[in-house]
Amino acid sequence: MQLLLGFGIALVVGLTGIGGGSFTVPALLLIVGLPAPDAVGTAFVFAGVLRLVAAPFYLFGRQVHPRYFRLLTTGAVPGLVLGIMALRLVARRGNSSVVVIILGLLLAFTAAITFLPRVHNRGFARKNSRWLPWLAFPIGLESGFSSAGAGALGTVLLLNYSEMAPAQVVGTDILFGLVLAIIGSAAHWTFGSISTATLLQLLLGGVPGVVVGCLLARKVPAHNLKLIVATVALFAGLQLVWSGTHALGAKHPSVEVRFYGRSAGDTPAGAARP
């Protein structure tokens, strides 16, 4: 099952450049049953390896914009570090259900962004490049907490606010996501929040999957496929919200206060005795 999951997720990443964290985290939480920090950490490494395999296809094709890549990375890395620290802080308090709910909300939000109407201000990045690091900061913040966002949000940002062609947008975003994945993977490896056995199974299916996806990328209508991917990711995020809310409700059931069995001395002042 994990091998098939790895192949399917990697195929989507190779075809569209998005879907790594948005699919991997829900799958590891809902199907494999990993704890939230381990799911995010494992997804970071898995997405990093996929992007490492996919990056040469775009680098050799000169489909990476060096300046925009540098500006995005400058703003996203501090946000990434803060996101990882926030995940560790919430998880350390034993609020696993709360972490799952937050992850679900973030993933659903990321997927929903895909359905927003295109703005198309292609001269913005060229004329206002100083704003790109600030726009990339929240992308890094979400990526640090959920391992997702670098692909979907980065692609939306570059498509709407830069003059780049779609192929160059995907190439720049894959390299941008690769840097975030490397830093996030190193942090989670230090914390020990990576399931090595699960990761190996995902990679066995994922490496050939991403190669096939990159080879087929020019023959598949990417826009329609991205809408399908975003729809599935949206429902996966909402499923996480429902699961986390259900688990939180089961952990804290409503308390029924009973006065029966109290002695006369235990009856509150001014209250009628049973």
- List, for residues 198-237, the tens digit of each pLDDT value: 999 999 998 898 888 877 776 766 666 667 777 777 887 7
pLDDT score, position 235: 82
Residue 94 CA to residue 76 CA, distance in Å, equals 28
3-state class of 17 per DSSP? Answer: coil
* 3-state SS string for 198-221: HHHHHHHHHHHHHHHHHHHHHHCC
pLDDT tier at 137 (50, 70, 90 boundaries)?
Answer: very high
| Percent of all residues in the chain with a pLDDT value above 90, rounded to a whole number | 13
pLDDT score, position 78: 94
pLDDT score, position 94: 63
pLDDT score, position 252: 58
Check pLDDT > 70 for residue 270. Answer: no
Q: How many CB atoms lie within 10 A of CB 188?
A: 23
Residue 114 CA to residue 200 CA, distance in Å, equals 31
Check pLDDT > 90 for residue 80. Answer: yes
Give pLDDT tens digits for 85-126.
988 888 877 667 888 888 888 888 877 776 766 656 666 666
Give pLDDT tens digits for 10-49.
888 777 766 677 788 888 888 888 888 898 899 889 988 8
Choice between 154 and 192, residue whose per-residue pLDDT is larger? 192
Q: For residues 238-253, b (16+ Cβ closer than 10 Å) or e, as one string?
A: bbbbebbeeeeeeeee
Residue 21 CA to residue 85 CA, distance in Å, equals 18
Q: What's the rounded mean pLDDT across residues 50-70?
A: 83
pLDDT tier at 255 (50, 70, 90 boundaries)?
Answer: very low
pLDDT tier at 84 (50, 70, 90 boundaries)?
Answer: very high
